[in-house]
Homo-oligomer: A and B are copies of this chain.
Amino acid sequence: MINQNNDSTILTLNEQLLLDQISTLGNIGHEGSNKGRTRIALSDDEKLGRDQIVSWMKELDLDIQIDPIGNIFGTLNSNNQENQPLMMGSHIDTVKNAGALDGCYGVLSGLAVIRAFKDAQMLPSRPITVVAFTNEEGVRYQPDMMGSLVYAKGLELKTALATVGTDGTILKDELERIEYYGTFDSSKLIPFKYLELHIEQGPVLDSDKKEIGVVENLQGISWQKITIEGKANHAGTTPTRLRHDAGLAASLINVFVRDIALTTGTTLATIGALELEPNVINVIPNKVTFSLDIRDPNEQKLLDAEEKVKEYLRKLEIQEKVKISSQSLARFKPVQFDEKLASDIQESCDKLGFSNQRITSGAGHDAQMISRIAPSAMIFVPSRDGISHNPKEYTPDEQLIKGAKILLDVVLKHTK
């Protein structure tokens, strides 16, 4: 049994309901135990997820607002409506074949914190808002973290709405289709502070056996789309020296960026998506399009890696007789979170007796966007074996509850 009370706060989480909601939301778009769930942003299944969140916000009598990029804001009002709200949030879209926790855990814990206020019939000293940001994952529409980026004025709404998806759809059309193209002017809702509770999605807390990660900063991210054009030719008759093999050039790049990662020790490099053309067994590939994801907590090292790749692409064009073009899909500098808010999180951990450590976020999160407009910080709970973006993503229920308790405690500190 999970303990339903904790003496160190004056409010009580409905722990079982939080776990039940994580499970209910996780069943939307579920494709079987081996495949997890898939709720790509603005798909039919993600609409069902949104409808479920809105329905739970209604049960809590929240003021629900949808802005034109589809971000969903649910606000618990205060006696001091003129005060800026304390905001908690994350996202509910997923990658393909995802776990149930990435993003959803933060949104649903936000609702659980508000429920604790409602259950205690306690009015906060400032409004408390829970937000579910649109398209954090960036699977179909780039850049990722789009909803929070638009909200934080880092990307023009008009540009974001015109984004063409990997399936050729236009983002605004899909927002309208699923009925989440809202009219709320969210620029009027600037938070006092922003808190995001999330699973780590990496192996650090699990291997260090720590219960809570106090996230003090976040890696820089560089996403590129690289296109290589070679020449389609018969695989059996074209001498090696006369080939223009686009697929081989992509392989060489993959090996090259792995070497950068091994050399620096801090840089991460991944080719996650790749399409060959014509993709036929006995034809030398004439075209390849692939994504390159590079990250580093240090901006200079990230710049260095980008520059090395750029030089290598130029070299490869000559060596492999191919044409290479690259396009930036997303570029975010490393982010430093608000030190005061991080200290608050750490204090709450110490007060509640949860083991904790300072940590760098390897993944991108909506909090990095919101940190442009408000003091922000994040709370991490461990991911077993560091696995995420995978049906096997797992955090024990006890750990999920501990994370939500820290969130409640920090919120309470700022809204008593």
From 239 to 287 in chain A, residues with beta carbon under 8 angstroms from any chain B beta carbon are 239-240, 242, 245, 247-248, 250-252, 254-255, 258, 261-262, 268-276, 278-286
- CB proximity of A237 to chain B, nearest CB, Å: 3
Does A191 count as interface, using CB distance less than 8 angstroms?
no
Does A293 count as interface, using CB distance less than 8 angstroms?
yes
Q: Which of A270, A284, A285, A293 has the most CB of B within 10 A?
A: A270
From 200 to 251 in chain A, residues with beta carbon under 8 angstroms from any chain B beta carbon are 200-203, 219, 221, 223, 231-240, 242, 245, 247-248, 250-251
Q: A274 — which chain B residues lie within 8 A by C-beta?
A: 247, 274, 276, 279
Contact of A285 among B252, B272, B285, B364 (CB under 8 A): B272
Asked whether, in the complex, the Cβ of B258 is within 8 Å of the Cβ of A389, the reply is no
Asked whether, in the complex, the Cβ of A236 is within 8 Å of the Cβ of B282, the reply is no
Q: A361 — which chain B residues lie within 8 A by C-beta?
A: 237
Does A196 count as interface, using CB distance less than 8 angstroms?
no
Complex-state Cα separation, A248 to B389, whole angstroms: 18
Does A97 count as interface, using CB distance less than 8 angstroms?
yes
Asked whether, in the complex, the Cβ of B202 is within 8 Å of the Cβ of A237, the reply is yes
Question: When A201-B237, A235-B272, A271-B247 are in contact, do A144 and B390 touch as well, CB less than 8 Å?
Answer: no
- CB proximity of A387 to chain B, nearest CB, Å: 6
Q: A237 — which chain B residues lie within 8 A by C-beta?
A: 200-203, 361-363, 386, 388
Nearest to A247 among chain B residues (CB) is B271
Does A96 count as interface, using CB distance less than 8 angstroms?
yes
Nearest to A260 among chain B residues (CB) is B240
Does A139 count as interface, using CB distance less than 8 angstroms?
yes
Q: A258 — which chain B residues lie within 8 A by C-beta?
A: 240, 245, 248
Q: Is the interface of A mostly helix, strand, loop or mixed?
A: loop
Nearest to A142 among chain B residues (CB) is B281
Q: Which of A202, A219, A239, A272 has the most CB of B within 10 A?
A: A272
Complex-state Cα separation, A274 to B278, whole angstroms: 10
**Could you say which interface size class chain A belongs to?**
35 or more
Complex-state Cα separation, A201 to B234, whole angstroms: 7
Asked whether, in the complex, the Cβ of A234 is within 8 Å of the Cβ of B271, the reply is no
Does A366 count as interface, using CB distance less than 8 angstroms?
no
Question: When A235-B293, A255-B248 are in contact, do A282 and B390 touch as well, CB less than 8 Å?
Answer: no
Q: A235 — which chain B residues lie within 8 A by C-beta?
A: 268, 270, 272, 293, 295, 389
Does A409 count as interface, using CB distance less than 8 angstroms?
no
Q: A270 — which chain B residues lie within 8 A by C-beta?
A: 235, 245, 282, 284
Does A85 count as interface, using CB distance less than 8 angstroms?
no
From 297 to 353 in chain A, residues with beta carbon under 8 angstroms from any chain B beta carbon are 329
Q: A138 — which chain B residues lie within 8 A by C-beta?
A: 281-282
Asked whether, in the complex, the Cβ of B283 is within 8 Å of the Cβ of A236, the reply is no
Q: A278 — which chain B residues lie within 8 A by C-beta?
A: 95-97
Nearest to A252 among chain B residues (CB) is B255
Contact of A248 among B137, B271, B281 (CB under 8 A): B271
- CB proximity of A99 to chain B, nearest CB, Å: 10
From 360 to 377 in chain A, residues with beta carbon under 8 angstroms from any chain B beta carbon are 361-364
Which 3 A-B residue pairings sit nearest by Cβ, starting from the closest?
A202-B237, A237-B362, A251-B254
Q: Which residues of A contact B (CB under 8 A)?
A: 95-97, 137-139, 142, 144, 200-203, 219, 221, 223, 231-240, 242, 245, 247-248, 250-252, 254-255, 258, 261-262, 268-276, 278-286, 291, 293, 295, 329, 361-364, 386-390
Can you sample 30 A-B contacts with CB below 8 Å?
A: A95-B283, A96-B280, A138-B282, A142-B281, A144-B282, A201-B234, A202-B236, A203-B238, A233-B388, A233-B389, A235-B293, A235-B295, A235-B389, A236-B362, A236-B364, A237-B363, A237-B386, A237-B388, A240-B262, A240-B268, A251-B255, A270-B282, A270-B284, A272-B280, A273-B279, A274-B274, A274-B276, A274-B279, A282-B389, A283-B389
